[in-house]
Structure 1
Amino acid sequence: MLAQVVLFDGFDPLDVIAPYEVLALGATLTDDPLEVELVTAEGPREVPSGLAAVSLRATARLDPARADLVVVPGAAGTLADGEPDEGSVLGRLGRAARGELAGLLAEALERRDVLVATVCGGSVLLAMAGLIRGRSATGHRLGLGALAGAGVRALDARVVDDGDLVSSSSVTSGLDLGLYLLERLVGPRVAVEVERFTAHERRGTVWRPVGAEPLVTTGPGTGGPARR
């Protein structure tokens, strides 16, 4: 099983490191082959994050034909009040959504044997590229409006499981996402052991499109179209 964690210029480091480390720890605790690698749309290179002092090196190119899991982070940067500039979170997400990465992510989403997961603004990146219209997803609370505006059913939940698309909310939710992915792909016993090792208990209930509909919703980000 191959998990590819995506890097792009301006990515948020914790969005990457949290799920990467959880998945990598899981790989050491199972006989099932689980490989985790950092990738870009362009191939191996040093990738600057949205924090000036932090960069990570991608060792391969994003390849949806090889990957079983693709993890897409959000961006780090300024919070622009008006039109997003190049150094803002939305500006960096938009630049990534207009580049070569968008085509590869579209291919990943089209492949039913590939699970695509997002952390924080990663869902907004997919929405900006027009890839998840009609789907259910979450992201940072500041980005729920952007998701809804792109035709996504935006949900204020810690983790949202919409089948082959699993999204998580703010930056630290990458830990919860990683543990949930381990549970789903490898099994709960391995996920619990990683949870113990990291001393992190998963937060929140994973939203899935099953069960009774609530009669009343009490939080933001519950509108938008249902999944196609």
Structure 2
Amino acid sequence: MVDITAEIILFDGFDELDAIGPYEVLENGAQAGASIDTNLVTLEETDLVTASHDLRVEPDGTLGNPDLLLVPGGGWTTSTGGVRLVVDEGELPAAVDECYTNGATVASVCTGAMILAEAGLLEGRPATTHPAAVDDLEETAANVVDERVVDDGDVLTAGGVTSGIDLGLWLLEREFDESIADEVAAEMIHDRRGEIFG
């Protein structure tokens, strides 16, 4: 039995690296000894999800009751698709809020923070997002900080795109052991950037 179940929620228009970067980090963490099981999921059953750069991904299943829910960004600055669309539709923010209410730690990468804000999870909390969405995030109840990764306990946010790798490594360090995170960073030839805010 694993200690932590992690799910990364996919939707049409998500940014590939926002989701796949942390996925690879967490999967490598499991191979390095972290007791974590990571799956790519969607809200509704579907065969394929098309990401923002047209990568097509086959999800593992639908959203369950994870210990950790990671929300990627993508598409906030465009008028159609991606984060902008799922925020307007409202179903994904509601599902994120439900997971949080049920006890999940929730993390976002890039403009995924706008989904967390819509879900009401960033009210009065320090948070970060992609520079292109900072002004929009400042219009919410979040306390926007200029940091790569922000850890506010049960809600974490990471800035743009590659910061999701740093988020994944921090989660491995926080939940398991710094040596596991260091091993994964070395394997991925990734120099961890920035201090963790929080």
TM-score (norm 2): 0.91
Given candidates 17, 21, 42, the residue that maps to 1:40 is 42
Given candidates 74, 80, 84, the residue that maps to 1:86 is 80
* Equivalent-residue separation in structure 2 for 1:48 and 1:57 (angstroms): 9
Alignment of 1:49 with 2:48, yes or no, is: no
User: Deviation digits for residues 41-62 of structure 1, max 9, x if unmatched?
Assistant: 113431011113x111111111
* Equivalent-residue separation in structure 2 for 1:44 and 1:24 (angstroms): 23
Unaligned runs of 5+ in 2: none
- Contact (CA 8 Å) 1:23, 1:36: kept in 2 or not? yes
SS in structure 2 of the partner of residue 58 of structure 1: coil
Given candidates 142, 149, 159, the residue that maps to 2:149 is 159
Task: Look up the equivalent residue of 2:80 and give its one-letter code.
Answer: E
C-alpha distance 44-2 of structure 1, shift in aligned 2 (>3 A) = farther
Task: Look up the equivalent residue of 1:56 and give its one-letter code.
Answer: V
Q: Which residue of 2 aligns with 1:110?
A: 101
CA apart distance, 1:76: 4.0
CA apart distance, 1:74: 0.2
* Equivalent-residue separation in structure 2 for 1:187 and 1:96 (angstroms): 35
Aligned pairs (5 A) from 1:1-228: 1-30=4-33, 33-52=35-54, 54-63=55-64, 65=65, 67-76=66-75, 79=77, 85-87=79-81, 92-97=82-87, 98-112=89-103, 114-208=104-198
Whose Rg is larger? 1
- Contact (CA 8 Å) 1:157, 1:169: kept in 2 or not? yes
* Equivalent-residue separation in structure 2 for 1:160 and 1:33 (angstroms): 23
User: Deviation digits for residues 95-122 of structure 1, max 9, x if unmatched?
Assistant: 212242222100122233x211111111
- Contact (CA 8 Å) 1:39, 1:59: kept in 2 or not? yes
Task: Look up the equivalent residue of 2:24 and give its one-letter code.
Answer: E
Task: Look up the equivalent residue of 1:8 and give its one-letter code.
Answer: F
TM-score (norm 1): 0.80
Paired residue total:
194
Give % identity. 39
